[in-house]
Amino acid sequence: MKIRQFVNRSSGFSLVELMIVVVVIALLAAIAIPSYSNYMLKSRRVDGVSFLTEVAGEQIRFSSEYNRFATTMAELGYGDAATANSDEGFYTVSIATSNGDQSYVLTATPVAGGPQANDTECAVLTLNSSSQKTVSGTATPADCW
């Protein structure tokens, strides 16, 4: 009586199985990377929005004391320059005044070469003394603010 021995020929993955795994990983990466990039742009945009809101509050305080709006960021206590970087450093904020310093427009521009420079939806954020919010990108102000 002969005893048959079974030989286990399965030793690892076949090339087809490995290629299927690679394709699945590539598809997941093709979906995840753009979504993550878009998420990061939106989260960094909050830095510019919050800094504009903060500076607008400082403008109101300044106006109540001096009966005019500040013309530079230095007058509001943000360093000694006409512009100032936002808290996280993704935006540069500047002030433009008109009507004898009785109105202002705050502009948040992405720092050149920074990660927000690629934000085409909400490129430049603006806020004026009438609380009107605008953007220079392809999105609407409601989407960016």
pTM beyond cutoff 0.85: no
Instruction: List pLDDT tens digits, range 22-49.
Output: 999 999 999 998 888 888 888 899 999 9
DSSP letter, residue 131: -
Instruction: List pLDDT tens digits, range 130-139.
Output: 999 999 988 8
Instruction: List pLDDT tens digits, range 62-114.
Output: 999 999 999 999 999 998 888 899 989 999 999 998 887 789 999 999 998 88
- What pLDDT, on a 0 to 100 scale, did the predictor assign at position 7? 60
Q: Which amino acid is at 12?
A: G
- What pLDDT, on a 0 to 100 scale, did the predictor assign at position 1? 59
- What pLDDT, on a 0 to 100 scale, did the predictor assign at position 113? 87
How far lies 58's CA from each of 6, 38, 40, 145, in Å? Answer: 82, 31, 28, 19
